[in-house]
Amino acid sequence: MKAIMKSLLLLSAGFIWSAKGHPMIIELQENEERCINLNIPEDDDAHLIFLPLPSEAETTNEWIKKYEDLEQHFLGQIVKLTKSRMHSSLPKQFVDDPPADIKAIMDELVHEWYEGETNSMAEVKLTNPHTQGSTTMETHWFHPLVLNHLRRILQHNQQRDKAPLEGYEICITSKNEEVPILMMIEHVMTSDDIFDDEEDTKSGMMFKSEHLTPLQDQLDGSIHAANTVIRELNLMEKREKRMRKTADSINWRVRNFSYLSVIVLILVTFFQVTYLKRYFKKKKLL
């Protein structure tokens, strides 16, 4: 039932033009790696935004207030960035320039605390668990790393890869040995068909998607849904094998424990009978 419900959710998500994800902030300590999984419906894609911010340089009330203003400014900029579309992609830079007070805080952090170094020493690695295709990118202070069309970035041999059921793996590694890093992450789901032309060319068909009848469109959707269900069943089969192995191991331990218990019980019974015989003979009752 759970697999069927998941398939229905994946199919219904394909009719949505776009869906905005929830922003989050991950704190990375020195030389720490944090990984998350991003699930993308079969017919959809996703845009990703990463923005590294340095941790609070001081703990004074004045600096904490400055840092809160800095954080709120960039949160607002990320929201504006997700609402700005260039065709089917997101812009690579923020829409607005930072105001004077925010710019002063940025300069103070970069030039005074990090000696003008703009590289945050935090790397973003994207991986498709099925094809093992991956890519790694650097991030820079206060500059957004915008990755449009995650599935296109990780496509294998110029072919559209199936969305892994366990999700795409996103790992953020901090190689900064001095200070923690706050990484803002935003994702935007989109249903833009960026692979249609490529698929038509590779399939050898002489007609394009706009020439397809509604019945053919439905058939294509049914094939995608069937493939999704098959992959879910394969995943469930792997889980069943793992659970069966665990159950067999537990049964083996319980059986051995039962044998040991019976042996101990027999030994205790033997010693009790022997002891009672000796006792009664000593008391001349036997």
Domain ranges of the chain: 17-211, 215-286
At 115, list the tokens.
């000696």
Examine the pLDDT at 190 and tell me if it is beyond 50.
Answer: yes
Give the percent of the chain with pLDDT over 70: 79
Q: Distance between CA atoms of 142 and 163, rounded to whole angstroms?
A: 31
- Total-model pTM: 0.58
pLDDT digits (tens, 9 = 90+) for 5-45: 444 444 444 433 344 445 788 888 888 899 988 888 877 88
pLDDT given for residue 170 in this prediction: 93
Q: Which residues partner with 181 through β-bridges? A: 28, 54
| Residue 200 DSSP one-character state | H
Neighbours of 177 (CB within 10 A): 8
Which residues fall within 8 angstroms of residue 218, CB to CB, at 6 or more apart? none
pLDDT digits (tens, 9 = 90+) for 253-273: 999 999 999 999 999 999 999
Q: Distance between CA atoms of 51 and 113, rounded to whole angstroms?
A: 18
- For residues 57-75, give the mean pLDDT: 80
Q: Give CATH for domain 17-211.
A: 2.60.120.510
Query: Which own/partner contact pairs does 232-236 have at CB distance under 8 Å and 24+ positions apart?
Result: 232/3, 232/6, 232/7, 232/165, 233/3, 235/165, 235/166, 236/3
pLDDT given for residue 51 in this prediction: 93
Q: Distance between CA atoms of 24 and 184, rounded to whole angstroms?
A: 6
Examine the pLDDT at 2 and tell me if it is beyond 50.
Answer: no
Between residues 211 and 227, the one the model is more confident about:
227
Examine the pLDDT at 252 and tell me if it is beyond 90.
Answer: yes
What is the residue-averaged pLDDT of the chain?
Answer: 79
